[in-house]
Amino acid sequence: MERIAIIGIGMTKIEANKKGDTFADMAWEAVNKALNDAGMTIDDVDNVITTSNDFWDGRTISCMAVGDASGVRNKNASCVEGDGAFGAFYGLSRILSGSYGTTLVTAHSKGSESVSSLITNAAFDPIYERALGLDMITACAMQANSYMHRTGTRPEHLAMVSVKNHGNAFHNPMAQLPMKITIDDVLQSEMVADPLHKLDCSPVSDGCCAVILASESRAQKYGGRPVWVKGVSFCSDSYFLGDRDLAIPRSLKAAGQKAYSMAGITEPSREIHVAEVYDAFSYQELMWIEGLGLCEEGRSKDLMEKDAFHLKGTLPVNPSGGLLSGHPVIAGGLIRIAEAVRQLRGEAGDYQVDGATRAMAHGINGLCGQSHCVWILDSAK
C-alpha cells in the first residue's frame, strides 16, 4: 500500500452526560484538538469524512448536525454510517485514490440522549427477530455463553478484563470510568444478562474523536509526528445470529489476516506491541484477542490469568482503559485508532507501553461483532 500517515488526533473527554454540548460542540472540540495536534489549520484539510448513525443520534441525515463544526463548508465531504474505524477506512481510500492529500475523519455519539436497548433492538430483522425483544446486551450475553462454553472461560476471567481496563483508565485523563475494583466487585455487581454483570458491560457515554490522515508527501509538512498505516481491512459475517457460530469470530479472523498480510506480519502475537480492541463487553476482549491471532484459540483466559494483557504484560491490550471505561458508540473504533497513535508516538503518559513501535486498532459494526475493521499502525515509515 502507498504510504499513508495519521498526523493528527483529537478527542473530547469521554463523559456520561455532556449536558452542555451538542453534537456540533463535541465535533468542534475534537476537530480543533486534532488540527492543533497536527500543526494544521482547517484550510490544510482537503476533504472531510464524518461518521455517525441516525438511530443513535435520533436524527435523519445525522451527519448534517456536525458538518459546519467539522469544517466541510468549502470542501468535498462525505459521511460513513457505522463505527469510526470504517469512516477512517473511507478517509484513507480517498487519499489512496489520488484525489486528496489530507482527510479529516470524525466520529461522535451521545449515549446520554439515546435509548440503547431500543436502538440496538432495531438492528434485528423486523420480521423474524425483533419481536423477541433482543438487544445488544442480551444478544452479546448469548455470545458470551457460547464463547465460554467453547473455551472453558469462566466468569472470573471476564471479571479480570474489567478489573484490568478500569484500572488502566486511571492513567488516562480522557477516560470516563477509572475504577479500582476487584474480581469480586465485578461478580457481585448486578446481573444484567447472564453471564454479563453490570461491570462486564461498557457504560453509556458521550464523546467525539477526530483523526487526520495524510499522504506521504503531506505527512511531514506540518510539523506533527506521523504514525504510519501498514494495513487495514474489514469483513462482514452473515447477519442472522443463527447462521453464525457465535463463539467463533470468523469475519474478524479474515479481516485480521488480510491486514497482517498487508503489513507483512506473520506472527501477530510477537510483532504487535500493543492492541486497542473493541471491548464493548469484557468477554469480547478475550474473544477478539483470539480472533486476531494475538494468542492461540481458547488461550486468552490462561494468558489473562498471567497478566499478559496488562500494561506491563507481554502484550498489553487496551492500556487506555478501553470501551469498558468509556464507550461513545460510533466513536469507539476511531478512539482505538487515536489511542494506538498515542502509544506509537510515546505520548501515552502513565499508560505508555514501553518500546511500542507497532500497534493494532479495531472497530466493529453490527450485532455480536458481525463486521470488523482492523488497522495496523507503525511508528516507522
Partner 1 sequence: MGKKRVAVVGTGQTFHKSHRPDVNGQELINEAVRRALEDSDLKIADIDAIVIGNMDHFEGINYVDCWSVDGSGGFMKPIIKLTTGGTTGSTLAMAGYHIVASGLFEKVLIVGWEKNSESDTTGAITTAFDPVWDRLVFAGAISGLAVEAQAYMAKYGATDRDAARVSVRDRKHACNNPHAQLRKEVTIEEVLMSPMLADPIHLLDVCPRTDGACAVIMASEDVAEKICAVPDWIWGTANRHVYSYLGDVNWGELDSMFHASQELFSKAGIKEPRKEIDVIELYQPYSFAGIIWIEDMGIAERGKGAEYIWSGATDMEGELPINPSGGVIACNPIGATALIRCAEAALQVMGKADARQVADVKVAVSTGFGGCMWTDMLLHGREKPDY
Where do contacts with partner 1 occur on this chain (CB under 8 A)? 1-2, 24, 53-55, 58-69, 72-82, 86, 89-90, 92-94, 96-99, 119-120, 122-123, 125-127, 233-240, 250-251, 254-255, 365-367, 370-371
- Tell the smallest beta-carbon distance from residue 373 to partner 1 (Å): 9
The least CB distance from residue 76 to partner 1, in Å, is 5
Do 377 and 358 form a contact (C-beta atoms < 8 A)?
A: yes
Based on CB atoms, which residue is closest to partner 1, 92 or 148? Answer: 92
- For the bound state, the minimum distance from the C-beta of residue 43 to partner 1, rounded and expressed in Å, comes to 16
CB of 41 to partner 1, least distance (A): 19
Nearer CB in complex with partner 1: 86/351: 86
Give the nearest distance from C-beta 24 to partner 1 in angstroms: 7
Q: Widest CA span of the chain, in angstroms?
A: 55
Q: Which is nearer to partner 1, 77 or 192 (CB)?
A: 77
Place of cell 457505522: 82
Place of cell 453490570: 198
CA angle 11, 16, 17 (to 5 degrees): 90
Q: Of 125 and 296, which has the nearer Cβ to partner 1?
A: 125
Considering the complex, what minimum distance in angstroms separates the CB of residue 158 from partner 1?
Answer: 25
Using DSSP's 3-state secondary structure scheme, residue 338 falls into: helix
CA distance 49 to 230: 21
The C-alpha atoms of residue 110 and residue 240 are separated, in whole angstroms, by: 28
What is the distance between the alpha carbons of residues 43 and 105, in angstroms, rounded to a whole number?
A: 15
Whose Cβ is closer to partner 1: residue 17's or residue 238's?
Answer: 238
259 touches 232 (CB < 8 A): yes
- Measured from the Cβ of residue 242, the count of other Cβ atoms closer than 10 Å reads 9
Residue type for position 378: D
> Phi and psi (nearest 5°) for 285?
-60, -45
Residue 165 sits at the vertex; the CA angle it makes with 313 and 114, to the nearest 5 degrees, is 150
What letter represents residue 377's amino acid?
L
216: helix, coil or strand?
A: helix
Shorter beta-carbon distance to partner 1: residue 13 or 59: 59
- Give 114 or 165: the residue with its C-beta nearer to partner 1: 114
Question: Whose Cβ is closer to partner 1: residue 37's or residue 57's?
Answer: 57
Whether the link from the prior residue into 195 is cis, omega within 30° of 0, is yes
Residue 237, classified by CB atoms within 10 Å of its CB into exposed (0-12), middle (13-18) or buried (19+), is buried
**At its nearest, how many Å lie between partner 1 and the CB of residue 224?**
23
CB of 136 vs partner 1, minimal distance in Å: 10
